[in-house]
Amino acid sequence: MSQLAPVPEGSRAAAAAAAAEVEVKEEEENLVAAAVQGEHKKYCAEEVDKDAKSDVNGSTWRLQQQQCGWQDTWALVTFLLVVGVSAAWGMTFALTGELTESLQQLVEQLGADVLGRVTTAQVFVGFAMGVSTAGVCTAVVVLLLELAPTAAIVLSALLFSAVLLLLSVVAFDQAIVPIGATLALMGLLQVCWLCAVRSRIAFSAQLLAAASAVMQQFPALLCIPALLMIAFFGHLLWGVLVLHAAAKRMQRGDLAWMDGGLAATSVFSIVWVANLVSGVSRVTTGGVVGTRYFASSENLPHAPTWASFKRATTTSFGSVCLGALLNTVVSLLGWVCRLSLNTGSEFIDCCLVCVLSLLGCLVAYCNFYVYVQVALYGCGYVASARRTWRLWQKCACSAAFNDALVSTTLRVLEVGLAGVVAAVLACSVRSVALEVIVFLIFLFSLTCVLRVVSEVVHTLFVGFAELPDRLAASFPDLHAALMASDDNFAAIHAHQRCAVPV
């Protein structure tokens, strides 16, 4: 008669880990189903679809639909209250005529130096020239990233290194030895770093080429950041006028004790809206890329860009508000600390400022990936942060190397094209005012384009790292190219499959 053998503790731990992986896998499939349907939904109730779908391995899985829900509504309500209080306080100045006086004074001050030299014709001509120049440069960037992404990455890194070495020579020539030595070291380290990560260049090049294809398929994505920035500039102008009127009231001694807190609230709302605009743009782009990623180009729903923007400004708006709030708090705290730092030691002050800057950059960098999770799966900010943490546990180094290569490439392209356009304008246009208008419009448009490229790359990276089988089903050629260009992901995906029992 056979006897049952006791189960070792190690086997129990392995079984528990496998069960946890099964739960994570089921959650991912549930959230993917929501992305395929083009809806941002919370995992609160689900029902099984009648039609069974086959994945790339031939096994069946069922789409599970979830009820739509608003995420992080408390952050949304808080944002509306802060902006509403700031707007109501500004209306008190508008009703008393102080806002109009501030606007007239600002126009007069600018008119004496700037506006008096600019005609209406120059504004329209400059706008047309700036937009057309940005369009040509956008086409150049898209074609370059599509046809020669590897060359763009390598040449951008080498050009950046050459600029640093050139600046170091200038610093040595001016007898500024510490700065010259630092720049020279940074230039040499840039070349060494490029050689060290040469095996990862092909992976980043594939993502840049895929981002170029996405931009060609969804040109409306380029309009979203521009429209959001225009809206932010309107809010910024309102805030500046209100603060200017409050400063005038303070000079007259009529500023009430409550106005000080309202002025701080107005400044806080301006910074919050600035971070919010960036978050909405990222979530919108991530939603469009996610829809294409899961549904393929042939099965896209109608108007995916508008649908993604609507989700980013409705059901996921609270999550975006929460992420922007964290950025705002960290940046303002760093700004206040930098103003109040006075330890008596310049070295300690410099170290503290560096730490605060790094903290702000870290929070902003984390938000990049959290926004991608919000866009892909529609979950709340905290759940997206947990998913981001799990992602970094698997492939943090790959994400960091990819971001470094892509960001360097895009920044060098931006600065290089801006320099070329500035040189051409200086040689061909005689009006300084027209040159400034054209250059500002061009730089604004180019910045929006390259921001979209960066957002697309982030989304594709997250999708490939978490759900490679969906990419294999939708875009098998891209999946094969990414797998061939980075062996690390092959090991990560193999570990994921082994952890989940068949």
| Beta carbons within 8 Å of 439's beta carbon, 6+ residues apart | 130, 418, 421, 422, 425
- Residue 175 and residue 383: Cα distance in Å, rounded? 54
Beta strands in 248-308 (DSSP E): none
Q: What are the backbone dihedrals phi and psi of residue 71, each rounded to the nearest 5 degrees, phi first?
A: -105, 140
What is the token pair recorded at 441?
Answer: 């419009």
Strand, helix or coil for residue 45? strand
Which pLDDT score is estimated for 126? 80
- Residue 33 near residue 294, CB atoms below 8 Å: no
What is the token pair recorded at 27?
Answer: 């959650």
Which pLDDT score is estimated for 57? 33
Which pLDDT score is estimated for 369? 94
Which pLDDT score is estimated for 54? 35
- Give strand pairing partners of 46: 66
What is the token pair recorded at 498?
Answer: 């082994």
Which pLDDT score is estimated for 69? 75
Which pLDDT score is estimated for 117? 61
Cβ–Cβ contacts within 10 Å for residue 313, how many? Answer: 14
- Residue 353 near residue 338, CB atoms below 8 Å: yes
Task: Give the residue ranges of the chain where pLDDT is below 50.
Answer: 1-13, 32-68, 115, 499-502
DSSP 8-state assignment for residue 114: T
- Alpha-carbon distances, residue 180 vs 164, 185, 188, 192, 407 (angstroms): 9, 9, 12, 19, 25
Inter-axis angle of helices 346-377 and 381-428, to 10 degrees? 110
- Residue 400 and residue 482: Cα distance in Å, rounded? 17
- Residue 62 and residue 58: Cα distance in Å, rounded? 13
Scored b (16 or more CB within 10 A) or e, 271-292 reads bbbbbbbbbbbbbbbbbbbbbb
- Alpha-carbon distances, residue 228 vs 49, 187, 279, 320, 438 (angstroms): 38, 36, 10, 14, 20
Beta strands in 338-467 (DSSP E): none
Among 485, 466, 453, 486, residue whose Cα is nearest residue 24 = 466
Cβ–Cβ contacts within 10 Å for residue 22, how many? Answer: 13
Domain locations in the chain?
71-138+219-391+409-476
- Residue 6 and residue 135: Cα distance in Å, rounded? 71
DSSP 8-state assignment for residue 476: H
Scored b (16 or more CB within 10 A) or e, 421-457 reads beeebeeebebebbbbbbbebbbbbbbbbbbbbbbbb
Which pLDDT score is estimated for 58? 30
| Beta carbons within 8 Å of 114's beta carbon, 6+ residues apart | 433
